[in-house]
Structure 1
């Protein structure tokens, strides 16, 4: 009986220490979340702003649409927006995952789809890709990204 009492006492004394070690993560490695992503460049834009510049918005109101084209280095992606209330006005180009923190040439254009010749926005700039680790330092993936905004009033791309 004394042996059982001793064991019980030892277990009770050891339990808080074992719990503390487990909660502190000692020996368990780094705790990383599992957020994914891709390296690349994204441009945010407001289709309604561009629709208003197309004959007072009449193009969009009569079933017209806009085409956004983003080129980064030699990779281009196009996106057609059918109306000015599009909930996701973001155009992006995916680049190689391991591209690194480099400067890349970017060109963003928005044209009216009615004839494809009416250019509403056209700007170019060199952008530096920044290292981004969505799951924290030391956790995968490591991405290289840049985000821009198409500013119609200024007629230019700007960071952010």
Structure 2
């Protein structure tokens, strides 16, 4: 084997890694617009039919043995972003109640801002342009992980 053959084999290997199993073009599967247009169920069907791992999208590996699980860029869970199901809302998070419209939320926020503004002027702290309501949020994952803290500004 010569140096030229080794370089060609490495090049072919790299091209095959970038060859999309859905459309056949030279890009990664997770960058394929064609597969992204499919439903989640059809994406799983394609991955299964081509032998992809559901954890890292590599071919020829089973998910249970996957040591390189991808992290979703949308929800930060341990699955490739390609397999993120936007319709699957976590049980811990409940959407805004139908009775509590965005107008009501805005009214509550402006009332809080107004109160803070009045308090600010009473203590003689000078002009105030804006006050924001800050809500501390504790997020605890079901898997063994340290407690995360986050602050949300309304």
TM-score range, shorter chain: under 0.3
Tell which has more relative contact order, 1 or 2 (C-alpha 8 A, sep 6+): 1
Question: Given the two structures, how large is their TM-score scaled by the length of structure 1?
Answer: 0.21
Question: Given the two structures, how large is their TM-score scaled by the length of structure 2?
Answer: 0.22
Q: Report which of the two has the higher share of strand.
A: 1
Larger Rg: 1
